[in-house]
């Protein structure tokens, strides 16, 4: 929850985010913050995060929060630990209000010094239907893939068809739980994919990487972040 709020402030200050863009998202939204721990010091990161958790535990609009440890990065992992933070908000308006309230908090600035953001997005289901993550991912050892990507220029019209063909193969793999497509206010596409275990995810990845459907889909997208993280 609150580490994602802190990241939202950084995004607003450094990336020129506007509330007008965010207001296009309706219904519950998921905030996704992929955080690389500076210097690899997880204990320092945890300590800097604690005041945020304590001070904002009752923040209006927060429905559920997760922090998952990443174990796989596409295409190549870096040397530093990465965590995937997800927060479900009841509305984008609640998210915006909390972000604005945090902008001047010293604990936020302290936390910023501990992380490099690989991705920060707020998303809603692409099909407009409700999505409850804990209905699918709710047990230790399960895996959640999160990928932020966009069609390459000129491939916008090919995205949905190529995705459908590829994800037919994904859904056939042992250990597959679900996949769900999301959109951001500025048109980025985000996917979550659930797996029963890390070994099953790795086996599926090995099988899928040999299939032409995966090559065809990955050939038309640009991925800005791709992590697989485990529930502990």
pLDDT digits (tens, 9 = 90+) for 67-115: 999 999 987 888 999 999 999 999 999 999 988 888 778 888 888 889 9
| Residue 145: CB atoms within 10 Å | 22
Domain boundaries along the sequence of the chain: 2-124, 133-230
Instruction: Name the CATH code of domain 133-230 (choices 3.40.50.2300, 3.40.630.30, 3.30.70.100, 1.10.10.10).
Output: 3.30.70.100
Which residues, other chains included, contact 149 with Cβ-Cβ below 8 Å and sequence gap of 6+? Answer: 188, 189, 190, 191, 221, 222, 223, 224, 226
For domain 2-124, the CATH class is alpha beta
pLDDT at 47 over 90: yes
Q: How far apart are the C-alpha atoms of 166 and 185, rounded to whole Å?
A: 25
Higher pLDDT, 22 or 58: 58
Higher pLDDT, 7 or 45: 45
pLDDT at 22 over 60: no
* Burial of 184 per CB tally in 10 Å (0-12, 13-18, 19+): buried
pLDDT at 21 over 80: no
Of 194, 42, 41, 189, the C-alpha closest to 123 is: 189
* End-to-end C-alpha distance for the chain, whole angstroms: 17
Q: How far is CA 88 from CA 113, 121, 211, in A?
A: 24, 12, 34
Rounded to two decimals, the pTM is 0.87
Q: How far apart are the C-alpha atoms of 115 and 182, rounded to whole Å?
A: 25
Instruction: Report whether 84 contacts 3 (CB < 8 A).
Output: no
Q: How far apart are the C-alpha atoms of 34 and 36, rounded to whole Å?
A: 7
Q: How far apart are the C-alpha atoms of 6 and 31, rounded to whole Å?
A: 11
Quick one: CA dihedral 144, 226, 162, 127, positive or negative? positive
Instruction: Report whether 72 contacts 146 (CB < 8 A).
Output: no
| Residue 220: CB atoms within 10 Å | 18
For residue 29 the two structure tokens come to 């939204």
Q: How far apart are the C-alpha atoms of 206 and 220, rounded to whole Å?
A: 20
DSSP per residue over 127-194, as a string? TS----GGGT--STT-EEEEEEEEEPTT-GGGHHHHHHHHHHHHHTSTTEEEEEEEEETTS-EEEEEE
Same fold, 2-124 and 133-230: yes
Reported as a pLDDT band with limits 50, 70 and 90, residue 193 is very high
């Amino acid at each position: 929850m609150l580490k994602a709020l802190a990241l939202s402030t950084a995004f607003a200050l450094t990336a020129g985010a506007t509330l007008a863009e965010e207001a296009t998202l309706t219904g519950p939204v998921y905030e996704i913050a992929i955080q690389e721990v500076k210097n690899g010091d997880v204990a320092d990161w945890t300590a800097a995060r604690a005041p945020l958790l304590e001070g904002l535990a009752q923040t209006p609009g927060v429905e559920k929060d997760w922090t998952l440890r990443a174990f796989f990065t596409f295409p190549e992992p870096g040397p530093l630990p990465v965590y995937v933070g997800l927060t479900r908000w009841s509305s984008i308006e609640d998210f915006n209000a909390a972000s604005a309230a945090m902008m001047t908090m010293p604990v936020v600035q302290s936390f910023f010094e501990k992380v490099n953001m690989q991705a920060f997005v707020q998303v809603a289901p692409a099909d407009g239907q409700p999505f409850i993550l804990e209905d699918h991912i709710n047990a230790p050892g399960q895996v959640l893939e999160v990928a932020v990507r966009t069609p390459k220029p000129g491939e916008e019209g090919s995205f949905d068809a190529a995705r459908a063909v590829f994800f037919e193969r994904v859904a056939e793999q042992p250990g597959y739980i679900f996949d769900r497509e999301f959109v951001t206010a500025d048109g980025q596409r985000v996917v979550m994919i659930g797996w029963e275990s890390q070994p099953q995810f790795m086996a599926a990845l090995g099988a899928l990487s040999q299939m032409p459907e995966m090559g065809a889909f990955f050939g038309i997208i640009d991925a800005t972040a791709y992590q697989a993280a485990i529930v502990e």
